[in-house]
Chains A and B, each alone.
Chain A
Amino acid sequence: MEIPDVKEKWTSRINTVTIGATKEQGGTRGKTVTVGGATTFPFLTFEGELPNKTVIAGFISDIAPDWPEQITKAIGGEINSPAEWAQKNVEEYGVDLISIKMLGAEPAGKDASPSECAKVIETVLKAVDVPLIIWGCGDDEKDNHVLPECSEACKGENCVIGSAKESNYMTIVAICKADKHKIISEAPVDINIGKQVNILLQDADYDLKDVIMFQTTAALGYGYDYVYTIIERCRNAGLKGDELMAAPQICDVAGETYRVKEAVADDDILPGWGKLEKRGPMWEAACAEGYMHAGADILIMAHPDAIKSVQKTI
């Protein structure tokens, strides 16, 4: 019996986005990182081209994140210094780029000033030579002050700035155009808003070929299911010729994993679930690999064991 040919014929290609700028390109990075360019779904090498593998961005933040000790211990004391943490990521874990979140800018927390945040960016730029992804603290109003200063601090470095939403996209477009950065377009686990944000960016004259999509990230249950499906549908639409959905996609795996009770509570609280120091990184790795199958191009990760495991799969 003849085996039927099940290959899908895709008509389009996911956009290719290069992050970082070397000296010749007006920056100071030692290398650039390129994602996207696929003409099929991940791993289906028999069906199309997958010119750029999924990359791992090492998670760092300006102040140490509120993660359980079992997890932070594996990273070490460097977690308290963004520069050292970035170096450890690059030198020891071998990540492709660094993703920094300005957790300290949170108004209800340390409320770090925009200039303090910009200084952190300068230090990290000096400490490592890989490209950067820069996030605010998540508070739109504060980020509208924080991100412009951070963006200016890395002008010409071709970083990725996160994130543009329906509420704040004008500011992000303005700074990214002025300082020549890429944009993360964000939607709250909603494919329709995802598309709408991209339309808005396009209307604001920002080239969609410089956009990376972020459907937030979830690490458990329905949320995971939704995000997985959305990433898959975005990729599907992009491959079918929907130019508004052809951007590469990013997942904040570390940031979300260590917000889930099942990945932060030890077995004294969850008896029978096993030791957290092992369960945490396993959770993070499983989450990352799942999203990689769905079509994620950049995975933000933190735990060295999780990173090692996912690097093996890549």
Chain B
Amino acid sequence: MIMIGERINAGFKDIKNAIVNKDGDVIKKWARKQADAKASYIDVNLGAASNKPEDLCWMIEMIQEEVDTPISIDNNRPRMLTEAMKVCKKPPLVNSTTAVEEKMNELFPIVAEHGASIIGLVMDEAGSPATADKRVENAAKIIEKAMEFGLSPDQIFLDPIIMPLKFMQEQSKEILSAANQFQLFSDPPCHIVCGLTNISSGAKHKGLINRVFLTMLIANGCDTAIMNVLDDELINAILTAELIMNRQIYADSYTEAFRKK
């Protein structure tokens, strides 16, 4: 499983304050914690705290001073990305484009130039799709465009767009069905990613909903999640789902082995 640590996000108060006060220690602390929990990427999100490229670059630099985990740049403005790409020591993951032609034309060349990867949200000008079919249609647009720019399937992370269970209950089935169909675009398939915590937004039993939904997504081909990598129960659910899908070889101590350095 490719796990993208979501914690360095200005939506969290401590991160927002750290950006405003240029307090690198807070950024480093969360970078370290997530890297120790075996995050594959560390997501960096400026949120509303700033729109200056130098702030984004500063965050990336702080993280890279502490750990060598690749960065997921949570920003879709070409001007910001171009600057941020320059400071990334390893090929980053761009989070994200939509299936809007103009957006893809702006972002794919930057991604291709740096050998990076990109998340493709399967939404278009009309906004978030309501059905599996629409999601698949938009995904096809993304794939086609990416190929034009010479990106390979393993540089593309399709996001079926997770909707809150509590408010849009009919969506979950559509999302799972869409993810399943994303696997058929190419062989080997693209990555399938989800912004997991959306599913439990506003709900009471967040952890439980996250675990169950991610397990079901994994069964439908999902191999990447933007998630709380510090949630042990969630990690255990992932490890188990991967065994069930025969992606890893079973051993009695599989949960302990994952955590052992």
In the docked arrangement, what's the CA distance between A213 and B147, Å? 41
Q: Which A residues touch B204, using CB under 8 A?
A: none
Q: Does B257 contact A (CB under 8 A)?
A: yes
A-B contact pairs, 13 of them (CB 8 A): A191-B249, A192-B250, A192-B252, A199-B251, A199-B256, A199-B260, A202-B257, A203-B256, A203-B260, A233-B249, A242-B249, A244-B257, A245-B249
Q: Find out whether the CB atom of B154 lies under 8 angstroms from the CB atom of A9.
A: yes
Known: A192-B249, A192-B252, A199-B260. 15 other contacts (CB 8 A): A192-B250, A193-B251, A195-B249, A195-B250, A196-B251, A199-B251, A199-B253, A199-B256, A199-B257, A200-B253, A202-B257, A203-B260, A233-B249, A242-B248, A244-B257
Q: Could you tell me how many residues of chain A have their Cβ less than 8 Å away from some Cβ of chain B?
A: 16
Q: Which residue of chain B is the closest to A241 with respect to CB atoms? A: B248
Q: Find out whether the CB atom of B253 lies under 8 angstroms from the CB atom of A196.
A: yes
Write the B227-261 contact mask toward A (1 if CB under 8 angstroms, else 0). Answer: 00000000000000000000011111100110010
Q: Which B residues touch A244, using CB under 8 A?
A: 251, 257
Q: Could you tell me how many residues of chain B have their Cβ less than 8 Å away from some Cβ of chain A?
A: 11
In the docked arrangement, what's the CA distance between A222 and B248, Å? 24
Q: Does A127 contact B (CB under 8 A)?
A: no
Q: Does A237 contact B (CB under 8 A)?
A: yes
Q: Which B residues touch A195, using CB under 8 A?
A: 249-251, 257
Q: Which A residues touch B257, using CB under 8 A?
A: 195, 199, 202, 244
Q: Which A residues touch B250, using CB under 8 A?
A: 192, 195
Q: Which of A178-236 contact B (CB under 8 A)?
A: 191-193, 195-196, 198-200, 202-203, 233
Write the B130-148 contact mask toward A (1 if CB under 8 angstroms, else 0). Answer: 0000000000000000000
In the docked arrangement, what's the CA distance between A9 and B154, Å? 10
Q: Which B residues touch A192, using CB under 8 A?
A: 249-252
Q: Which residue of chain B is the closest to A11 with respect to CB atoms? A: B154
Q: Which B residues touch A245, using CB under 8 A?
A: 249
With both chains docked as a complex, state the minimum distance between the C-beta of B196 and any C-beta of chain A, in angstroms.
22
Main secondary structure of the interface of B (DSSP, over half): loop
Q: Sorted from nearest, which 7 A-B pairs have the closest CB atoms?
A: A195-B251, A196-B251, A199-B257, A199-B253, A192-B250, A196-B252, A237-B249
Q: Which A residues touch B248, using CB under 8 A?
A: 237, 242
In the docked arrangement, what's the CA distance between A40 and B19, Å? 45
Q: Which residue of chain A is the closest to B256 with respect to CB atoms? A: A199
Q: Which of B5-64 contact A (CB under 8 A)?
A: none
Main secondary structure of the interface of A (DSSP, over half): helix
Q: Find out whether the CB atom of A202 lies under 8 angstroms from the CB atom of B249.
A: no
With both chains docked as a complex, state the minimum distance between the C-beta of B152 and any C-beta of chain A, in angstroms.
9
In the docked arrangement, what's the CA distance between A7 and B177, Å? 30
Q: Which residue of chain A is the closest to B253 with respect to CB atoms? A: A199
Q: Which B residues touch A242, using CB under 8 A?
A: 248-249
With both chains docked as a complex, state the minimum distance between the C-beta of B256 and any C-beta of chain A, in angstroms.
7
Max chain A Cβ within 10 angstroms of own Cβ: one of B250, B257, B260: B257
In the docked arrangement, what's the CA distance between A192 and B250, Å? 5
With both chains docked as a complex, state the minimum distance between the C-beta of B244 and any C-beta of chain A, in angstroms.
14
Q: Which B residues touch A199, using CB under 8 A?
A: 251, 253, 256-257, 260
With both chains docked as a complex, state the minimum distance between the C-beta of A48 and any C-beta of chain B, in angstroms.
16
Q: Which of A136-193 contact B (CB under 8 A)?
A: 191-193
In the docked arrangement, what's the CA distance between A245 and B257, Å? 12
Max chain A Cβ within 10 angstroms of own Cβ: one of B188, B250, B251, B253: B251
With both chains docked as a complex, state the minimum distance between the C-beta of B222 and any C-beta of chain A, in angstroms.
18
Max chain B Cβ within 10 angstroms of own Cβ: one of A195, A200, A202, A233: A195
With both chains docked as a complex, state the minimum distance between the C-beta of A298 and any C-beta of chain B, in angstroms.
21
Q: Which A residues touch B251, using CB under 8 A?
A: 192-193, 195-196, 198-199, 244
With both chains docked as a complex, state the minimum distance between the C-beta of A65 and any C-beta of chain B, in angstroms.
33
Max chain B Cβ within 10 angstroms of own Cβ: one of A9, A198, A199, A200: A199
Q: Find out whether the CB atom of A202 lies under 8 angstroms from the CB atom of B260.
A: yes
In the docked arrangement, what's the CA distance between A242 and B251, Å? 12
In the docked arrangement, what's the CA distance between A193 and B251, Å? 6
In the docked arrangement, what's the CA distance between A267 and B250, Å? 44
Q: Which A residues touch B260, using CB under 8 A?
A: 199, 202-203
Q: Which residue of chain B is the closest to A234 with respect to CB atoms? A: B249
Q: Which residue of chain B is the closest to A197 with respect to CB atoms? A: B251
Q: Which A residues touch B249, using CB under 8 A?
A: 191-192, 195, 233, 237, 242, 245
Write the B153-190 contact mask toward A (1 if CB under 8 angstroms, else 0). Answer: 01000000000000000000000000000000000100
In the docked arrangement, what's the CA distance between A24 and B143, Å? 57
In the docked arrangement, what's the CA distance between A242 and B154, Å? 19
Q: Which B residues touch A9, using CB under 8 A?
A: 154, 188
With both chains docked as a complex, state the minimum distance between the C-beta of A2 and any C-beta of chain B, in angstroms.
15
Q: Which of B78-119 contact A (CB under 8 A)?
A: none
